[in-house]
Amino acid sequence: MKTPWLFLLVLLFSAFTAKASTIDFYQIKIYHLKTEAQEKMVDDYLQKAYLPALHRCGIAKVGVFKPIVTGQALVTEKLIYVFIPLKSFNGILELDKKLAKDKQYTADGKDYLDAVYKEVPFERLESIVLKAFEGAPHFMLPDLKSPMKERVYELRSYEAPTEKYFRNKVQMFNKGDEIGLFKRLNFNAVFYGEVIAGSRMPNLMYLTTFENKTDRDAHWKAFSADEYWKKLSAMPEYQHNVSKNDTKFVYPTDYSDI
């Protein structure tokens, strides 16, 4: 009598594993820097060692972004964002093991990897792990024509007051088809993801892309005026599900794949 139950359990586990493998996982690494020397060291490491090593690991597209700074902005620290798409959660766990075995990576990244404590390459390194939305299970490359440094990428983080409200906001994107609205209005979204490990939770994050600031403003104007958005945002079941919206404007570096 035990064999059929065991067989059924194996089938269920296999089905779950197959379903899970169809959803991307993402890691966002954020380098917090203080000096131009640190920025140069991290740039050199990412361009000459880290990204090539990730490419050898089968991760063909990696995004590297820096904040867009206006003339009046008070800059307290320099930041570099690295977006790494992976096919599974295990991919995140195994990545460091693969890098440790890559002799070319060790050689190319020697200055960064072997930096002494008096000349550290960063002040702090932050890591965020995300699971892709069911309605957008894989990351997408933006279809843009403008030069890299003219582009405006908008990284948004929506924090929710409770876990239940967080699930509700994710549902608004999936079942409520907020993702479809962004797609119809050509927001060129790179990813939508649930944060499963990070310093600010519960929250979700997504990245939309535009040719320039004017293009970005025009898209959001159309979004706000869209009849479907007015209807969706007014639905009683989707109220009060965002407690904080943190928006970062970034641009891709010359060596970014995305």
Selected residue with higher pLDDT from 148 and 240: 240
How does pLDDT run across 114-123, given as a tens digit for each residue?
999 999 999 9
The pTM of this model reads 0.88
Contact of 159 with 244, CB cutoff 8 Å: yes
Mean per-residue pLDDT, 103-132: 96
Mean pLDDT score of the chain: 92
Q: How many CA atoms lie within 13 A of 249 on its CB side?
A: 14
Residue 235 scores a pLDDT above 80: yes
pLDDT tens digits for range 210-230: 999 999 999 999 999 999 999
pLDDT top residue among 219 and 4: 219
| Nearest C-alpha neighbor of 249 from the set 191, 198, 210, 199 | 210
**147 residue type, one letter:** P
Burial class (CB in 10 A: 0-12, 13-18, 19+), 166: buried
- What tokens appear for 212 in the block? 């320039």
In angstroms, the CA 26 to CA 144 distance is: 22
Q: Supply the pLDDT for residue 1.
A: 46
Are the C-beta atoms of residues 26 and 77 closer than 8 Å to each other?
Answer: no
Alpha-carbon distance of 118 to 105, in angstroms, equals 23
- For residue 15, pLDDT over 90 is answered with no
- What single DSSP character describes residue 211? S
**pLDDT (tens digit per residue) in 133-188:** 999 999 999 999 999 889 999 999 999 999 999 999 999 999 999 999 999 999 99
Residue 47 is classified by DSSP as I
Tell me: pLDDT of 51 over 90. yes
Residue 93: the pLDDT is 86
One DSSP character per residue, 70-139 reads: -TT----SEEEEEEEEESSHHHHHHHHHHHHT-HHHHHHTHHHHT--GGG-S-SEEEEEEEEE-TTS-S-
Residue 16 has pLDDT above 50, yes or no: no
Report the alpha-carbon angle 45-67-112, nearest 5: 15
Q: What phi and psi, each to the nearest 5 degrees, are found at residue 237? A: -75, -10
Residue recorded with tokens 């943190």: 246
Q: What is the pLDDT of residue 21?
A: 56
CB atoms within 10 A of CB 222: 14
**pLDDT band with cut points at 50, 70 and 90 for residue 73:** low
Q: Residue 230: what are its φ and ψ, rounded to 5°?
A: -60, -40
* 9 has pLDDT over 90: no
Q: Which two tokens stand for residue 59?
A: 């991760």
Q: Where are the alpha helices (DSSP H) in the chain?
A: 2-20, 36-45, 51-56, 89-100, 103-108, 110-113, 163-174, 178-184, 213-225, 227-234
Residue 18 has pLDDT above 60, yes or no: no
